[in-house]
Amino acid sequence: MKTIDKSFIRALKGEILDTPPFWLMRQAGRYLPEYREIRSKSRDFLDFCYTPDLAVEATLQPLRRYNFDAAILFSDILVIPDALGQKVAFKEGEGPVLEPVRSAGDVARLNGERLHDHLAPVYETISRLASSIPETTTLIGFSGAPWTLATYMVEGHGSKDFPAARTWAFSGAFSDTGFADLISLLVDAVSEYLCAQVDNGAEALQLFDTWAGVLSPSQFERWVIEPTAEIVRRVKTAHPDVPIIGFPRGAGVLYADFVRRTGVDGVSLDNGVPLDWASSVLQPLCTVQGNLDNMALLAGGQAMETETTQILDALAGGPFIFNLGHGILPQTPPEHVARLGEIIRGRNETR
Amino acid sequence: MKTIDKSFIRALKGEILDTPPFWLMRQAGRYLPEYREIRSKSRDFLDFCYTPDLAVEATLQPLRRYNFDAAILFSDILVIPDALGQKVAFKEGEGPVLEPVRSAGDVARLNGERLHDHLAPVYETISRLASSIPETTTLIGFSGAPWTLATYMVEGHGSKDFPAARTWAFSGAFSDTGFADLISLLVDAVSEYLCAQVDNGAEALQLFDTWAGVLSPSQFERWVIEPTAEIVRRVKTAHPDVPIIGFPRGAGVLYADFVRRTGVDGVSLDNGVPLDWASSVLQPLCTVQGNLDNMALLAGGQAMETETTQILDALAGGPFIFNLGHGILPQTPPEHVARLGEIIRGRNETR
């Protein structure tokens, strides 16, 4: 098998490696001048994501600079609502704006029938990447998880506390108001989307549940754990060998339940998760990925060295993938990423 | 001793009560029409806080509607930067705006000498409240904790991820850039402020560390646990009997370290903390307070009933104070608060 030589896949299968594999969330993106240059070639951000020439190039750019063990498809989580027929626009300096879905009627108007047609350019991007990335690099596909997609779809924009989505979710846990149907539609769409990514060459998958942390435990169970478990089940039925990483950001103590109950192969940790707990509670259950504070990478210098070393000391003795706790910040100096790679890679050689 | 009859104090001293004491963060505020009416009497929000007639009235309003076991001083955490000489303004619909503190020079220009003069109206409010609240009601004083105050002081406004504060904090943990001096100045100011509140009649204290959850574990140790432990030590030296509640919102697994290492008598939990973990890990260490999702209170009905009952089932068997996981939302119908009180109070009678 070809994948057996990819350290990223080996780590996700539970192997403990001398040097942990390493990639960064948003490793392709605005901190790179070459990205800002190609980004200007498309006015609309979703159009950029739907243009294979540009999305392939954006995905490959960081691989030319750094020796990452994985490349993640360049795309956006909001292609799913877009593909379901909800209007999505990215406004300069304002983030995404969607026509909000707020009722059973709104949910009924969403339509999964054209999903694969709509997402065909993403599949083409993946298939081109599969044949162009280095042999030892793993190609990661991804999707937003249902709860996080729902926060944007219901709120209509980014938010601090998602009042519309959370109140609808609460009533939707007890009566038939349409919210459960929305999540169920998203479980279908995300499962199909991820399977198609694998069919086109993705070798591992990550589910981003960026806003999982705002939910109370009962709501986390209903709208994060249950939908994720169902997606994992469906993807594994079609593709038993493809490892899946979950990222319920901000889940705190609930990371443990998430790992135990969803069947993910790996869990990505935000920077608030203490290393001793991750090592003693989570690592016996699955591979952990994380969790350098993106501000430490931005700060660089001794802060970055110390934090990185602490993470390696605590977690590299178990199944582990080095990453950030959240996406790389646009202001990050690219040379800090190079130095980070040296710390991670150099460590084993100097011991 | 008079305080022995106050259920709120008894719960904080570790006693397990048949009916847990009950109050809500932001129980005085915009969800009450009578608050919105008096709020319009002062154009500037800090002026409102510094006018004892208005601040006393705002504190008392919820006590006339509901049978809360505690009243919390009506004020704002930003009186501290204001008292230290930093310009603070509240702009309509925009939240607080401060002239940012970003360098050792900026920190040196802050000045604690006029602290008590500046805060004298707050002390007068407390002293009037002490003689006017019902005999069984506990008067809670409060302050923002140093880290959270620093986020506003450095950023100059509210933020999602506090880039300026967090990068300065990172470098400040390794070299003398002024950030450690800022925290140290805040430890002095907050300790003195809380002691003066007790001198004027506050019977318990709460430290709000609203943005504790954005920090990585090493930074949480340095900027949340250490300053809080020092404040608790100083307040307890002057007032050994006054119980202190800490609220490091979003601390996740780190709530346990926080409780073990700061010496607080109680810990307030955000709604993300799972109840079984709070009961098995935290309650043996101190009194816990929380943690109903404020969206469940807003939603009302079966969502609120179910969530409330789950919390009482899990936590009322140990030292416990019922509260929200975060402040009450302005859109909350006041009758939901009345119903919540009935659920908590009625429970013991119907068993």
Q: What is the pLDDT of residues B104-114, one digit of tens each?
A: 999 999 999 99
pLDDT bucket at A330, cuts 50 / 70 / 90: very high
* Whole-Å CA distances, A20 to A29, A306, A351, B149: 23, 17, 15, 38
Distance CA B44, CA B54 (A): 12
A10 or B175: whose pLDDT is higher? A10
| Cβ-Cβ contacts under 8 Å for A223 (sequence gap 6 or more) | A146, A147, A150, A169, A183, A215
Residue A348 pLDDT: 60
User: Nearest 5°: CA angle at B155, between A212 and B94?
Assistant: 75
Q: How confident is the model at residue B171 (pLDDT cuts 50, 70, 90)?
A: confident
Question: What is the C-alpha to C-alpha distance for residues B182 and B101, in angstroms, rounded to an integer?
Answer: 9
Confidence of residue A5 (pLDDT cuts 50, 70, 90): confident
Which chain B residues are closer than 8 Å to A160 by Cβ? 160
User: Is the model more confident about A159 or about B289?
Assistant: B289
Active site residue B47: no
pLDDT for position A222: 97
Residues of A in contact with B306 (CB under 8 A): 174, 218
pLDDT tens digit string along B139-163?
Answer: 999 999 999 999 999 999 988 889 9
* pLDDT above 60: residue B41: yes
Write down the pLDDT at residue A147.
Answer: 98
Q: What would the mean pLDDT of A268-284 be, rounded to a whole number?
A: 98
Least confident range from A9-23, A208-222, B168-182: namely B168-182
Dump pLDDT digits (tens) for A104-121. 999 999 999 999 999 999
| Integer Cα distance of B96 and B84 in angstroms | 16
Q: Looking at the DSSP assignment, which residues form a beta bridge with residue B204?
A: B140
Q: Contact, A327 vs A25, CB < 8 A?
A: yes
Residues of B in CB contact (< 8 Å) with A are 160, 163, 166-167, 170-171, 173-175, 213-220, 250-254, 257, 271-275, 277, 291, 293, 295-296, 298-299, 301-303, 306-307, 310, 325, 329, 331
Residue A176 has pLDDT above 90, yes or no: no
Q: Is the pLDDT of residue B48 over 80?
A: yes
Give the per-residue pLDDT at B3.
44
Are B296 and A173 within 8 A, CB to CB?
A: no
User: What value does the mean pLDDT of chain A take?
Assistant: 95
pLDDT at residue A2 is higher than 50: no
The alpha-carbon gap from A120 to the nearest alpha carbon of chain B, in Å, equals 34
ipTM exceeding the 0.90 mark? yes
Percent of chain A with pLDDT over 70: 98
Partners of A331 on chain B (C-beta within 8 Å) are 163
> Smallest Cβ distance to A298: which of B167, B274, B298?
B167
Question: What pLDDT is recorded for position B139?
Answer: 98
Phi and psi at residue A151, to the nearest 5°: -60, -45
DSSP B9-21: HHHHTT---SS--
Q: Do A295 and B167 lie within an 8 Å CB cutoff?
A: yes
Confidence of residue A3 (pLDDT cuts 50, 70, 90): very low
CA distance A166 to A155: 9
Question: What pLDDT, on the 0 to 100 scale, is given for residue B349?
Answer: 54
**Amino acid making up residue B9:** I
Residue in B163, B175, B216 nearest the CB of A307: B216
Region B235-244 average pLDDT: 98
Q: Is the pLDDT of residue A1 over 50?
A: no
